[in-house]
Amino acid sequence: VGVSDKLANAGKGFLDTQKTMGFKGKLYAINPKSKIEGFDTYPSLRDIPGPVDHVIIAVPASAVPSVIEDCVRKGVRSAAIFTSGFREWNTEEGQAVEDQIARMARKRGIRLLGPNCMGFFCPETGLGFRSDMPATKGGKISLISQSGGIFNSLGFMANEKGTPLAKAVSYGNECDLGPAELLLYLAEDPATEVICLYIEGTRDGNALRDALSFAVSRKPVLVLKGGRSTSGSRAVQSHTGSLSGSSQTWESLCRQSGAVLVEDLEEMMDTARLLLLAPRPKNRNTVLMSISGGFSVLFTDILANADFAVPELSPEAQQDLYKIIHYPGTSIRKPLDLAQSFFYIKKFPLLFKRLGEEDDMGIYIMVLVMEYLTLDGEGGAKIGMLILNALIQAFKKVDKTLVVVFPESTESEARLGMIKHITESGYPVFDSMKRCAIALNNVIQDYEVRI
Amino acid sequence: VGVSDKLANAGKGFLDTQKTMGFKGKLYAINPKSKIEGFDTYPSLRDIPGPVDHVIIAVPASAVPSVIEDCVRKGVRSAAIFTSGFREWNTEEGQAVEDQIARMARKRGIRLLGPNCMGFFCPETGLGFRSDMPATKGGKISLISQSGGIFNSLGFMANEKGTPLAKAVSYGNECDLGPAELLLYLAEDPATEVICLYIEGTRDGNALRDALSFAVSRKPVLVLKGGRSTSGSRAVQSHTGSLSGSSQTWESLCRQSGAVLVEDLEEMMDTARLLLLAPRPKNRNTVLMSISGGFSVLFTDILANADFAVPELSPEAQQDLYKIIHYPGTSIRKPLDLAQSFFYIKKFPLLFKRLGEEDDMGIYIMVLVMEYLTLDGEGGAKIGMLILNALIQAFKKVDKTLVVVFPESTESEARLGMIKHITESGYPVFDSMKRCAIALNNVIQDYEVRI
């Protein structure tokens, strides 16, 4: 509702997006004056001949109540209100209209999402809210976001990294449907394996706590809280009009419920990917594999600083490995520095099999700096893919937590392509050891609570 | 010395690289048996007819002393020893040969770099040690690195981000030339504006402290210390054979000398770029500009957490801005959320001019999420570049610290291209607000010490 042929009309954008996303149901445009090209157009909701399941509202704030009235009369069960200009504007008028529609939701049996929200994203059923967001199916991470912009970023990021979103909801001002009910839904949704929540504040802290606890009993829940600082919470007021609560409140809420509190989007994405792609770390003993002594040193520090151990391999393992990869520069005693052995791909299966047999080791981290090979043209790119595929095959010999750190350097398309290839082959990749260590700690925290 | 036509011969690689780098002087290959295609080849150093300035040694460890003997007799002033297998192997033999060549350096008047090092990189004069490293001229960041691998990564990273290296030295085991003397040189090198030091340990802590203090009196010095943790310091032993010292020792060394201690390569690069490209932050009051309310909230938190303030703009500024950019969604009171105003590029000059006039504000951070525009094909890419160029032009109206945060999302080539374009236009870009805040704090620390 609120569709016109004007440039950048939001309502038209929503309709077009459902088409792009492959929505199978009927789509109607509501415009009191003119027919919208490509859509069955009616002057009002009540003029639509058949039943209507869901309405997207994109009319000015003052007109929203009457559209909801139409929804109720038409028997519509749910509506998402894109329109902004309510509580978040901090005006009496905005507050009054939001109170009015909230009352309608409670009394008239319709469920409302928003206002000031982007609505639902679900590639399986073809629902979405921006036409350029890839509608990749088969995702396993679901997102509940109070902010539409945060959804956009996480959606693109998740897709680019090879672990797309299953479902997402941008819920804005929470005049009716809020994070608690959405959490309860995703907790039981079979397609969702990890739940991410971006939240700025909520109207019902008790309901949220209970929902978080229930969801955590079913699957990992990662929480990113916007507005922890005083100035951040002022920013929240004008963004979604929420009362954001103190930082301590949110920390204890997460601690009590077992949800993992993260600090930024990158950490959220990294942790979700690790939860999806790797088995539970058996312990904190780490085998660090690299092709650069300097990285071995630096990354050992970062791991130690994050409470992981990088112990020497057992004398037996050192002897066995010496037989397998005794090539120039290779160092076996300390963090494994493959050096030239990195190019003897036929040795990889033996190497990883023997490494995997070290019972005391719980985590295997392969540091890759190899996109430079593509600087050598097609030949180099070919060698790069050969090595990468041999590595991925050999990884399978290790039946424990195995992750890849692929730090930025040339940052070429080559590196991104390699990262996506590794992720799609089932191994999580991180852009830096710092981020890897943070995600590992989050995952261990989650497993300790849930299992 | 130690050049053959065998595949992957290191000596040949070094010679080829000088050619690729455009070295103007004479290049000789030493091979006792056969002529090396493309190079004047002699059986030994002493057979070369003219004078020789510098020798790169890539023969087995046991043969290194006799090559140095040849160097001395030939009157060579300096040599870089690529060969490994010395102190870092922790064998009596390796230790003995390293002691022997160190004595030769002290007594015979030749200066040695290494062993176990990659040598010198200097695009201005055409020196280098890997042929695929871009030899971009005009760099202003110089690097002293105990590790060759760390140099490689930082070299590529610096180039990709649009702020290439001026000079770099990989010095390995420090049998003679070490970080202290190299620091003293770069402190007075007019091409070098920021010095980066990657160090695992040193033989002469006093000399290093004095050199650091002197260098800091001339320009910013960033120190990345490998081997701060116990296991990291074990890794150091087998990497460069250094005694790495306690974490506290290094912290106090940096504090006393005024050098900035960083935690990883990304932080080093971010900080160097910020030092190069932005004026000193006047204070910690930050104007945060974004096109997403969610990012405004999250990034305000991250800034507050790092001790920056994100105050409201003055009432006068709010009034003035309201007149300039009153478009849907735009919020002026809190962190500036441009929303749709982001597409009114003609307003940018007025907008940034008025923002820059806020006397109490010291730091301006523009958050960009715009590479998604290119998903719309060529038209979108064109719009993206139009907006980006208008922004960069308008940035000039702000005569204070102005930086860009361009968080990962679609991570396409488009984003990297935009980042490079902004950097080359003279504004530092960061991949995340967390990294931006860390770099800002480092830069403030540096200015407080040096000015």
How do residues A210-231 score in pLDDT, each as one tens digit? 999 999 999 999 999 998 887 7
Please write the tens of the pLDDT for every residue from B242-273.
Answer: 666 778 888 999 999 999 999 999 999 999 99
Closest CA to B233 of A300, A135, A323: A300
What mean pLDDT comes out for the span B420-442? 94
Q: Rounded mean pLDDT of chain B?
A: 91
Provide the shortest C-alpha distance from residue A270 to chain B (in Å).
12
What mean pLDDT comes out for the span B389-412? 91
Range in A29-38, A169-178, B414-423, B437-446 the model is least confident about: B414-423
- Asked if residue A279 has a cis previous peptide bond (ω within 30° of 0), the answer is no
Our CA dihedral for A37, A39, A44, A46, rounded to 10 degrees, sits at 160
The predicted pLDDT at position B61 comes to 92
Token digits for B104?
């030769």
Nearest CB to B264 within list A226, A302, A369: A302
Token digits for A208?
């949220």
On the CB side of B59, CA atoms within 13 Å amount to 18
Our CA dihedral for A94, A97, A102, A108, rounded to 10 degrees, sits at -170
* CA A212/CA A209 separation, integer angstroms: 5
Provide the shortest C-alpha distance from residue A251 to chain B (in Å).
14
* CA B344/CA B364 separation, integer angstroms: 20
- pLDDT bucket at A334, cuts 50 / 70 / 90: low
Provide the shortest C-alpha distance from residue B413 to chain A (in Å).
6
What mean pLDDT comes out for the span B202-218? 94
Q: What is the pTM of this model?
A: 0.90
- pLDDT bucket at A64, cuts 50 / 70 / 90: very high
Range in A14-18, A298-302, A384-388, B341-345 the model is least confident about: B341-345
| Length of chain A in terms of residues written | 451
What mean pLDDT comes out for the span B7-31? 93
Provide the shortest C-alpha distance from residue A104 to chain B (in Å).
25
Provide the shortest C-alpha distance from residue A409 to chain B (in Å).
4
Provide the shortest C-alpha distance from residue B239 to chain A (in Å).
6
Nearest CB to A239 within list B160, B236, B297: B297
Are β-strands A363-367 and A401-405 bridged in parallel, bridged antiparallel, or unpaired?
parallel
Q: Do A157 and B409 lie within an 8 Å CB cutoff?
A: yes
The predicted pLDDT at position A338 comes to 80
Q: Would you say residue B130 has pLDDT above 80?
A: yes
Q: What is the radius of gyration, based on Cα positions, of chain A?
A: 26
Q: Return all residues near A68 (Cβ < 8 A) that are at least 6 apart.
A: A57, A79, A101, A104, A105, A108, A110, A112
In chain A, which residues have their Cβ closer than 8 Å to the Cβ of B147? 292-294, 297
Provide the shortest C-alpha distance from residue B227 to chain A (in Å).
6
What is the C-alpha end-to-end distance of chain A, expressed in Å?
A: 47
In chain A, which residues have their Cβ closer than 8 Å to the Cβ of B156? 372, 409-410
In chain A, which residues have their Cβ closer than 8 Å to the Cβ of B417? none
* CA B391/CA B290 separation, integer angstroms: 13
Range in A140-149, A387-396, B416-425 the model is least confident about: B416-425
Residue of A nearest to B340 (CA): A8
Phi/psi at B363 (5° precision): -130, 135
Q: Do A301 and B227 lie within an 8 Å CB cutoff?
A: yes
What is the C-alpha end-to-end distance of chain B, expressed in Å?
A: 47
In chain A, which residues have their Cβ closer than 8 Å to the Cβ of B200? 297
* CA B288/CA B304 separation, integer angstroms: 12
Q: Return all residues near B348 (Cβ < 8 A) that are at least 6 apart.
A: B390, B391, B393, B394
Q: Would you say residue B199 has pLDDT above 90?
A: yes
Q: Would you say residue A438 has pLDDT above 70?
A: yes
* CA A89/CA B248 separation, integer angstroms: 51
Residue of A nearest to B148 (CA): A294
Return the number of CB contacts < 8 Å for A and B.
235
Nearest CB to A369 within list B153, B298, B375: B153
Q: State the DSSP H helix or E strand holding residue B223, giving kind and residue range, or none if neither.
A: strand B221-225
Token digits for B179?
């970080």
The predicted pLDDT at position A296 comes to 87
The predicted pLDDT at position B343 comes to 82
* CA B154/CA B269 separation, integer angstroms: 7
- pLDDT bucket at A414, cuts 50 / 70 / 90: confident
Closest CA to B80 of B157, B164, B180, B10: B10
Q: Would you say residue B327 has pLDDT above 80?
A: no
Q: Return all residues near B362 (Cβ < 8 A) that are at least 6 apart.
A: B281, B282, B283, B284, B285, B286, B400, B401
* CA B321/CA A154 separation, integer angstroms: 30
In chain A, which residues have their Cβ closer than 8 Å to the Cβ of B312? 234
| A-interface mutation test, from B86, B90, B301, B338, most A Cβ less than 10 A away | B301
Tell me the ipTM for this assembly: 0.85
What mean pLDDT comes out for the span A315-321? 91
Q: Side chain identity at A277, as an amino acid letter?
A: L
- pLDDT bucket at A437, cuts 50 / 70 / 90: very high
- What is the side-by-side strand order in the sheet with B78-81? B54-57, B78-81, B111-113
Centroid of chain to Cα B174: 21
- For every residue of chain A, which 3-state class applies, written as one string? CCCCCCCCCHHHHHHHHHHHCCCCCCCEEECCCCCCCCCEEECCHHHCCCCCCEEEECCCHHHHHHHHHHHHHHCCCEEEECCCCCHHHCCHHHHHHHHHHHHHHHHHCCEEECCCCCEEEECCCCECCCCCCCCCCCCCEEEEECCHHHHHHHHHHHHHCCCCEEEEEECCCCCCCCHHHHHHHHHHCCCCCEEEEEECCCCCHHHHHHHHHHHHHHCCEEEEECCCCHHHHHHHHHHHCCCCCCHHHHHHHHHHHCCEEECCHHHHHHHHHHHHHCCCCCCCEEEEEECCHHHHHHHHHHHHHCCCECCCCCHHHHHHHHHHCCCCCCECCCCEECHHHHHCHHHHHHHHHHHHCCCCCCEEEEECCCHHHHHHCHHHHHHHHHHHHHHHHHHCCCCCEEEEECCCCCCCHHHHHHHHHHHHCCCCEECCHHHHHHHHHHHHHHHHHHC
**How large is the greatest C-alpha to C-alpha distance in chain A, in angstroms?**
82
What mean pLDDT comes out for the span B357-382? 88
Phi/psi at A160 (5° precision): -60, -35
- pLDDT bucket at B348, cuts 50 / 70 / 90: very high
Q: State the DSSP H helix or E strand holding residue B224, giving kind and residue range, or none if neither.
A: strand B221-225
Residue of B nearest to A331 (CA): B238
Nearest CB to B304 within list A229, A329, A409: A229
Residue of B nearest to A86 (CA): B329
Percent of chain A with pLDDT over 70: 97
CA dist A59 to A18, A84, A94, Å? 18, 9, 14
Residue of A nearest to B328 (CA): A84
Name the more confident of B451 and A111: A111
Q: What is the radius of gyration, based on Cα positions, of chain B?
A: 26
Beta bridge partners of B54: B78
Token digits for A63?
């007109």
Nearest CB to A228 within list B146, B238, B301: B301
Q: Side chain identity at A72, as an amino acid letter?
A: V
Range in A4-13, A209-218, A396-405, B10-19 the model is least confident about: A4-13
